[in-house]
Amino acid sequence: MDDYITELTALLGQLDPDERNEVVDFYTEYLQDGNFTTYNDCVRELGTPRQLTRKILADYSIKNLDAGSSTQSRTAKPKEDMKTVWLIILAVLSTPVTIPLALGLAGLSIGVFAAAFGIIVGLLGLIFGVVVSGLASLVIGISILPSDIWLGVLYTGIGIAFVGLIILMTPLFSAAFNGVVRGVTTFSRWAYQKIVPKNRAEKHGRRRQK
């Protein structure tokens, strides 16, 4: 058991010291109470230390995201959302998916992620296209000003208009990106709760609290 707890502690380096100690104490007490003395006994009960770590990190990330939703700035939120989604993906991939519901949710998750990725790529492609068009118009306009001032002014004006369009649409693109990230995060949390069950230690802890 000591080897299992030692490995688990080392893998939980992303948690704050207090959180890590709380988790380690909880699982140590559970394994001691259940007389799980060998490494293999612990693995059969809770999964490998890496599998358990991924679940713990996903749970804590969701918990911290909820706790900080009222205090974090809107610019920092998407970064935390994406971190949570990534930890959820790792936790789900570490969970044996055997029941039809879980398989269906896994397939649906792939579809949602693919759609979100397509939207983000589309937005980036649109921004890139407008930027390239604007820069090209500016370069062409400036280059032909000496030979044809009016045509040069026309192209230069088009280029400036594209630049202005990008500036005006930046908040819209940012809001759309943040909305996609929040939507994916919300779905990921829902799917995670359906796919990844609480382990026996967590269920045991709930019963003791009651």
Dist. CA 141–CA 125, nearest whole Å: 24
- Residue 65 domain-assigned (yes or no): no
- Residue 182 domain-assigned (yes or no): yes
- Residue 6 domain-assigned (yes or no): no
Which residue segment(s) compose the domain that 148 sits in? 78-197
Question: Higher confidence at residue 167 or residue 97?
Answer: 167
Dist. CA 51–CA 210, nearest whole Å: 27
Query: Please, which pLDDT band fits residue 82 given cuts at 50, 70 and 90?
Result: confident
Question: Higher confidence at residue 107 or residue 25?
Answer: 25
Query: Please, which pLDDT band fits residue 9 given cuts at 50, 70 and 90?
Result: very high
What's the pLDDT at 205? 61
What's the pLDDT at 99? 54
- Residue 147 domain-assigned (yes or no): yes
Which residue in this structure is represented by tokens 């296209």?
129
What's the pLDDT at 24? 92
What does residue 171 show for φ and ψ, rounded to 5 degrees? -60, -35
> How many domains are there within the chain?
1
Which amino acid, residue 141? G
- Residue 45 domain-assigned (yes or no): no
Query: Please, which pLDDT band fits residue 101 given cuts at 50, 70 and 90?
Result: low
- Residue 148 domain-assigned (yes or no): yes
Dist. CA 50–CA 188, nearest whole Å: 20
Question: Does 210 score more than 60 pLDDT?
Answer: no
For the beta carbon of residue 156, count every other beta carbon within 10 angstroms. 19
133-161: per-residue pLDDT in tens? 888 888 888 888 888 888 888 888 888 88
